[in-house]
Structure 1
Amino acid sequence: MRTRFILIQTSHAGNVGAAARAMKTMGFGDLVLVAPRWANVLRREETIQRASGALDVLANARIVETLDEALDGITHLCATAMIPRDFGPPTRTPREHLEPLAKGSEQHVAFLFGSERFGMRNEDVYRCNVALSIPADPAFGSLNLGAAIQLIAYEWRLALGGFEVRDVAPVQLPADAQAVAGMLAHWERSLVQIGFLDPAAPKKLMPRLQQLFNRAQPTQEEIHILRGIAKAMVDPHRPPLDGESTASVGDDTGP
């Protein structure tokens, strides 16, 4: 589907840059400005700074004088308006409207955004198939233009299928039961040596540690770390800490 973002009479150059950045992060690049305040808005320093690298979107953007010119080739118009208009199109949330739109027949879609100063004119809203209203707090529903474009671009990209989220962290499988058992045996010996575990009255310390590590599912690398800790615990050069207990842990009276 062709997707176009149309900004009508934008008054702040920085918002044009923010719009370009918001679009690029969601994979869109067709930006049209209708009668912006600044004729050179695409080249202004504030615009370029706020675009934060989305210079290709700015380079391909077009400036036109009328909304009719901006709508060339578009078949489905989405207004962005917080206040419903009398006799206007139905008001829906972006997700409610865009999900079925993406699954329907192919459309050339445009999202229209009004001026920061006075929003969209009634006559422009009336031309649209829907008025998209972001479900913000009714007591404070005013969004910055760049933020509104980012939300709409995200919802539309999500409806179209979205991009794959890649996990860069390497996959580490849990250590096997033998490795966990060996680590626990190492810990038991060390705990006895430092006087934390009384082998004559072990209570339920080791079964509790067993359950703890069963839930944690440590990796092989983490097993090595834990065994290193157990080794460091019995370092004969380490002085006892103030108040260090020699009793076993837990208040169980049974073994």
Structure 2
Amino acid sequence: MTTRFVLIGTSHAGNVGATARAMKVMGFDDLVLVAPRWDDVLARQEAIDRASGATEVLAKARIVATLDEAVEGVDVLCATAMTPRDFGPPTSTPREHLPTLVGRRVAFLFGSERYGMRNEDVYRCHVALTIPTAADYGSLNLAAAVQLVAYEWRLALGGFDVKPSAPPVVAADAKAVSGMLAHWEEALVAIRFLDPAAPKKLMPRLHQMFNRAQPTPEEIHILRGVAKAMLEAAKKGTP
């Protein structure tokens, strides 16, 4: 079972080290950084110092250029977005929602310290996790947010003594869904169903629909076949 923590656009080396420490005490070690401010952030002294003994998590961590690379092999994407969006995935607290994900391959996404998560990244997720805080002060340090989510996920998994059962059906990973939708977007433009100059929210809505459907790899293959057929029909000038 995959549990991955993804930090997007992180700007402070200390937060990376503190995140590694927060993960290790809850028994997790799959850390991926997407386009951090510093290319050598995992080796910076501040990161090593704040890891406080969790250096093996830093040693195993990966730096990638895109979110697609970071979520490869994952079924469910959980945004951590404290600010409500007018559109996007359902919002829930970790304690309410995480028990429903036991047995799935899960990635927890955290935005930059200054700006949080971008709307387009939140739209890709299956759920937006919100941590209950005081009404007049809801600002959480990045590593503190990681610690809370890691703790709640460990509780959902049954602590350290209970192993979750394997999922009965393996859904296609998030990268496969994103690639299929890119193929569909090209086809929808080709048949003039989607106007690239005024796309509105068609593609984010389709992303949410397929996230809910949780298609298998075989179903992704079929959907790509449909997109290919649409593109071929458009080239021939047939309806």
TM-score class, shorter-chain normalisation, is 0.5 to 0.7
Displacement of 1:15 in angstroms is 0.1
1:253 is matched with which residue? none
Which structure shows the higher helix fraction?
Answer: 2
SS in 2 for 1:138: coil
1:60 is matched with which residue? 60
Alignment gaps of 5+ in structure 1:
165-255
Q: Give the CA RMSD over aligned residues.
A: 0.8
Displacement of 1:101 in angstroms is 1.8
State the AA in 2 paired with 1:111: F
Length-normalised TM-score, structure 2? 0.66
Listed one character per residue, the Cα deviations across residues 109-155 of structure 1 (whole Å, up to 9, x for unaligned) are: 00000000100000000000000000011210010001000000000
Higher relative contact order (CA 8 A, sep 6+): 2
2:21 is matched with which residue? 21
Q: Which of the residues 139, 144, 150 maps onto 2:141?
A: 144
State the AA in 2 paired with 1:147: A
In terms of Rg, which structure is larger?
1
1-structure distance, mates of 2:28, 2:40: 22
Counterparts of residues 13-162 of structure 1 (less than 5 Å): 13-102=13-102, 106-162=103-159
Alignment gaps of 5+ in structure 2:
162-239
2-structure distance, mates of 1:11, 1:116: 7
Please identify runs of 4+ aligned residues in structure 1 that moved more than 3 A.
Answer: none
1-structure distance, mates of 2:101, 2:143: 23
Displacement of 1:24 in angstroms is 0.2
Listed one character per residue, the Cα deviations across residues 232-254 of structure 1 (whole Å, up to 9, x for unaligned) are: xxxxxxxxxxxxxxxxxxxxxxx
State the aligned residue count.
161
Listed one character per residue, the Cα deviations across residues 206-225 of structure 1 (whole Å, up to 9, x for unaligned) are: xxxxxxxxxxxxxxxxxxxx
Listed one character per residue, the Cα deviations across residues 52-104 of structure 1 (whole Å, up to 9, x for unaligned) are: 000110000000000010010111000001112122001100000001222xx
SS in 2 for 1:86: coil
SS in 1 for 2:140: coil
Listed one character per residue, the Cα deviations across residues 166-216 of structure 1 (whole Å, up to 9, x for unaligned) are: xxxxxxxxxxxxxxxxxxxxxxxxxxxxxxxxxxxxxxxxxxxxxxxxxxx
1:12 is matched with which residue? 12
State the AA in 2 paired with 1:27: G
2-structure distance, mates of 1:100, 1:39: 36
2-structure distance, mates of 1:101, 1:134: 17
